[in-house]
Structure 1
Amino acid sequence: MKEQGKIFLGLAVFVLAMAITYGLWTNSSDLGIEAAGTTALFLAFSLCAFIGYYLAFTARRVDSGAGDNPEAEVADDSGELGFFAPHSWQPLSLALGGALAFLGVIFGWWLMFWAAPIIAIGIFGWVFEFYRGENQNQ
């Protein structure tokens, strides 16, 4: 995780340099600064910096994995990675609610009144999926 943090922080520095260069380059023309591209590059910088900081911050608190050891083998990372849900119907309700919400942007905001409860049910069901029913943890 340390190496991944360094990669993202290095990418953030590069994108920041490109954003400044792009902003200055487009500002030197007669048309003025090109706001959309410059803004997008600065947002990309902030995203890379955010991810790089998170990975570097987390790497100090967890054990180093095989990815941080240059002498590691592929088999060194084997083993149990965690618990993953076997199946879930909740993403389907979230997809239907999200589709209705996006259709609400196109056809009318009144569709949000139908989409919001479906999305809320999907989120609530997904969060509390393992607290009830056949998948309840003992």
Structure 2
Amino acid sequence: MKVQGKMFLWLSFFILAMAIVYGVWSKEAAGTTALFMAFGLSVMIGFYLAFTARRMDALAQDNTEADVADEAGEVGFFAPHSWQPISLAIGGALAFLAIAMGWWLLYFSAPLLLIGLFGWVFEFYRGENQNQ
């Protein structure tokens, strides 16, 4: 975590320099604003990672003598299969299409989004995958 925090903080200094150079040379407001916002986001992520690294034990990536296998182990639990992302994808596509075609499409996309969202969040609280 310490390495990632330092990387984001160094990246933020680079983005800040590029934002200043871009703003002076191009005199274009939208790109300059986007670069300054990217600088702010990079600083926030860097400080969060640096702050979190202080409270955590040292990881294998913080040790210069560590091997790749030192970080091996269980990554986490992932759902074996789920149909909910399809509902979210179709609902999201219709919602974005509503911006271009007409707001009436939101009447069709909102139920799909809600079904997909609630189904995915509560997937392991009902049905055959319910945890006892």
TM-score normalised to structure 2 length: 0.92
Deviation sequence 1:88-125 (CA, Å, 0-9, x none): 11100000101111111111011011111211111111
In structure 2, list runs of 5 or more residues that go unmatched: none
User: 2: CA distance between counterparts of 1:19 and 1:13?
Assistant: 10
Pairwise CA RMSD: 1.3
Instruction: Please say if 1:135 is aligned against 2:112.
Output: no
Letter in 1 for 2:66: A
Instruction: Please say if 1:110 is aligned against 2:104.
Output: yes
**What is residue 30 of structure 1 aligned with on the other side?**
none
Runs of 4 or more consecutive aligned structure 1 residues displaced over 4 Å after TM superposition: none
Shift of 1:50: 2.2
Instruction: Please say if 1:78 is aligned against 2:72.
Output: yes
Instruction: Please say if 1:47 is aligned against 2:41.
Output: yes
Instruction: Please say if 1:59 is aligned against 2:21.
Output: no
Structure (1/2) with the larger helix percentage: 2
User: 1: CA distance between counterparts of 2:55 and 2:128?
Assistant: 35
Give the count of matched residue pairs.
132
Instruction: Please say if 1:100 is aligned against 2:94.
Output: yes
Deviation sequence 1:46-86 (CA, Å, 0-9, x none): 22122212222222233322111111001101111221111
User: 2: CA distance between counterparts of 1:83 and 1:104?
Assistant: 35
SS in 1 for 2:55: coil
TM-score normalised to structure 1 length: 0.88
Letter in 1 for 2:60: A
